[in-house]
Amino acid sequence: MARRGRKPAWLRLAAGAVIAVAFTIGFAAAGLIAGLDHTVRSRFEGVRFRVPSRVYGAPTILYPGLDWRRIDLPGALARLGYRAADTAIALPPGQYVWSGQRARIHLRAFSHPSRPEPARDVVLRLDGDLVSAIRAVPSGEELGAVLLEPEPLGAYYGPAHEQRELVRLAEVPPHLVDAVLAVEDQRFATHSGIDFRRIAGAMLANLRAGEIRQGGSTLTQQLVKNFFLTPERTLQRKLQEAAMALIVEARYDKDEILESYLNEIYLGQRGATAIHGVGEGAHLYFGKPASELGVAESALLAAIIQSPNGISPYRDPKRATQRRNLVLDLMLEQGRLEPDAHARAREESLHLATVTPDANDARYFLDLLRRQLAETYPTEVLTQEGLRIYSTLDPRLQRIAAESLRQGLESLEKRRPALARQGDAALQGCIVAIRPQTGELLALVGGRDYRHSQFDRCTQARRQVGSVFKPFVFVAALEPWRGPPVITLASRLDDTPFEVKTPSGPWRPANHDRQFHGEVGVRDALEQSYNVATARLAERVGIGRVADVARRLGVESSMPKVPSLALGTAEIAPIELARAYATLASGGVRPTTQTVEDVVDGEGSVMEKRRLRFERVIDAGTAFLATSLLEGVADRGTARSLRAGGLRGPIAAKTGTTDEERDLWFVGYTPDLVAVVWVGFDTPRGLGIPSSVGALPIWRSFIEGATGGVVRGAFPKPPVIEEAAVEPGTGALALNGCPERREEYFLAGTLPTAVCPDGGGEADSGGLLHWLRGRL
């Protein structure tokens, strides 16, 4: 007898199977959801965005007396995204009004943990090219100096090559949020991650169109897709997206999701770099921070989200305007915009920033900095953690240096077609500039075109330096060393045939003009760059001491202690020469080369600050004498063509051309700026021109651009320097009655003992005083 109510075995089996399957599916689903939840949490609670580190240049400082045209103030404002306004009434930060002799600028705040600058509304009174006064608005307080925020130079990208500037939701203007919500997800505040009404509407529209035209994704779904998923349109991916959107909404509040979305959304390209987030998007399209966007600009940014490249206002302004207006209409319809604001915004034309690809002018500098920073910061930190690196580079000088080098090389090739590109071997060059008193690196162009060659010839190449080494010989001879110096500026040198025995045979230096000049003055020897006189002097001083002086001044490369070192056979990097000459320019004090002022992390804390450092390596008097000698080179010697274009003011300089004209050098300095120019081929071959033709014009162009053609200041004369008249032909102290005389500088206690005319004569009071002083 069958038991009552007992179910058949097959039914029990089936029920068991169903329960087992249900459990299995349940477990699998739970596992899947747990997995998705883990993925979501690990992203949201870890490093949410990979933000490249940005490098900034030194800020521009405005002050009364500044030549605003020389520093290209309008250009600096444009590069920083300042916009000319029609009226100064209620002028917001980031805008200015320029009217004749008056520039009203509302300077933006500069955010920095330890040296922030507030936003400042100021009026610059202009007197011709000069700023005559700066006053705060509305107080009228006279200001001594104000700062423009530093210009961005570039960034260190990760493999994805994405750029973004993170913004906090509180910094985003409400109308930008409204514009995004109006067009992308109007029910964002109320849905739970999926908007079924929107999905239904999109399906209907797509059915009508017969193709997929609309998406039904919410902001949360879009964020999930961008964060975790691929762009493919499959059912499985859509289900995954929906599940993750629900998880995100369950775990995080709306503001957090919205802020993530605004920072993640793709908004177009700047060259090869993908622009993500409204912060970076605002810079790309409008050249300003997101916080300064107006209603129409916000609507345009929101309009672009759907298809940043298709609706690009640069490519298709008409289509972009239409879609912007659609966004504005939606904002009005949804009550997010007042009718009058809507009308005004619709009337606005597109005010777009000038599109500039990543400025490549500073790329060699960025590479140098990256190599230096890599000693402290791992690559992932540099490319993902959004550091702000405040560098010493002067963007204005950098542009001038890049332009001077480019034009200089092109001009050389035009005049001498033999120098033009032969296969891959293009004529190359580099230029590096340092502020001598502080050691701050101001400009660096390591080659002709970064896109073709990233090799930095100013910091990574070592080439024979030729005659730019000679000043080190003269410094060694002028410096008191265990007794009086070997020479004074009044000494006479021997420029007659000379031979030194070396292990590789006798060495017989010759002059460039293939002549010997007999007895020559110290100034003549350096001004005319006589090899023989210099080699003989190096022999008197000792080549070891010459190398020691070069080392103390800042040369780090190895220097073989052979007689020919005096004539520059050592291979030295241009940046080392810049440092060595900077030491002379700063009166014998060697500054530590600085490229970075400080580094701020993504959270806004200072990670590192670098201090100016100095070391006295040569006495101030000797450094001054060397500078005076090099001034002679610029005024009368091999670099005299510097003055041909009207360049005025104190300049000390030296030309250098190596054997067969393979390397052309020009090193020179003013009281505030040292610059080194090198020109040559990467694989050395003769150029057939001297440095005064190849390198000097590039240096001159750079300094003219930097100074406006008039170098200010003077090389300071230390108290240890005395002046006395000498007879140029003999170097004797010139008394009254001496037929020829020239004022000369001496270290105290080193005046000549011989007098002119021989045996005395009628001494003038100054000359006699010096003469007596020399004997006491």
Which residues are known catalytic residues? 184, 467
Is 601 near another protein (CB under 8 A)? no
Site string for another protein, 549-588 (x = CB under 8 A): --------------------------------------x-
**Which residue, 60 or 531, has its beta carbon nearer to another protein?**
60
Minimum distance of another protein from residue 148's CB (angstroms): 12
SS3 572: strand
**Which residue, 151 or 524, has its beta carbon nearer to another protein?**
151
- The burial class, CB within 10 Å (0-12 / 13-18 / 19+), for 303 is buried
Site string for another protein, 96-135 (x = CB under 8 A): ----------------xxxxx-------------------
Contacts of 39 (CB under 8 A, 6+ apart): 228, 244
Among 145, 160, 203, 374, binds another protein (CB under 8 A): 145
The closest alpha carbon to 638, from 666, 669, 670, 675, belongs to 666
Among 39, 64, 453, 608, binds another protein (CB under 8 A): 64
**Which residue, 62 or 520, has its beta carbon nearer to another protein?**
62
Is 719 near another protein (CB under 8 A)? yes
d(Cα 54, Cα 744) in Å, to the nearest integer?
51
Is 74 near another protein (CB under 8 A)? no
**Which residue, 233 or 611, has its beta carbon nearer to another protein?**
611
Could you write out the three-class secondary structure of 666-677? Answer: EEEECCCCEEEE
**CA-only gyration radius of the chain, Å:** 35
Minimum distance of another protein from residue 698's CB (angstroms): 24
**Which residue, 142 or 449, has its beta carbon nearer to another protein?**
142
Is 58 near another protein (CB under 8 A)? yes
**Which residue, 144 or 503, has its beta carbon nearer to another protein?**
144
Minimum distance of another protein from residue 551's CB (angstroms): 20
Is 147 near another protein (CB under 8 A)? yes
| 495 in Cβ contact with 520 (< 8 Å) | yes
d(Cα 83, Cα 73) in Å, to the nearest integer?
13
| 707 in Cβ contact with 66 (< 8 Å) | no
The neighbouring-strand residues paired with 116 are none
Size of the site for another protein (CB under 8 A): 40
Structural tokens at position 8? 């058949």
Minimum distance of another protein from residue 91's CB (angstroms): 24
Q: How far is CA 17 from CA 9, 29, 117, 371, 563, in A?
A: 12, 18, 72, 65, 97
The dihedral through the CA atoms of 5, 9, 14, 17 has a sign that is positive
Site for another protein in 314-333 (CB under 8 A): none
- The burial class, CB within 10 Å (0-12 / 13-18 / 19+), for 539 is middle
Minimum distance of another protein from residue 620's CB (angstroms): 6
Minimum distance of another protein from residue 314's CB (angstroms): 36
DSSP states along 47-88: ----B-EEEE-PPEEE-TT-BTTTTTHHHHHHHTT-EE-S--
Minimum distance of another protein from residue 552's CB (angstroms): 16
Contacts of 483 (CB under 8 A, 6+ apart): none
- The burial class, CB within 10 Å (0-12 / 13-18 / 19+), for 254 is middle
Helices (H) and strands (E) in the chain, counts: 23, 32
Minimum distance of another protein from residue 614's CB (angstroms): 5
Torsion of CA 2, 4, 6, 9, to 10 degrees: 20
**Which residue, 59 or 728, has its beta carbon nearer to another protein?**
59
**Which residue, 114 or 504, has its beta carbon nearer to another protein?**
114
**Which residue, 495 or 597, has its beta carbon nearer to another protein?**
597
Is 710 near another protein (CB under 8 A)? no
Applying CB under 8 A, which part among 159-167, 518-526, 609-617, 656-664 lies near another protein?
609-617
Minimum distance of another protein from residue 514's CB (angstroms): 42
Applying CB under 8 A, which part among 27-35, 59-67, 232-240, 295-303 lies near another protein?
59-67
DSSP state of 604: S
- The burial class, CB within 10 Å (0-12 / 13-18 / 19+), for 756 is buried
DSSP states along 139-194: T--B-S-EEEPPPEEEEE--TT-EEE----GGGS-HHHHHHHHHHH-TTTTT-SS-
Among 256, 519, 635, 672, binds another protein (CB under 8 A): 672
Is 717 near another protein (CB under 8 A)? yes
List residues binding another protein (CB under 8 A).
58-59, 61, 63-66, 112-116, 144-145, 147, 435-438, 440, 587, 589, 597, 606, 609, 611-616, 620, 671-672, 712-713, 716-719
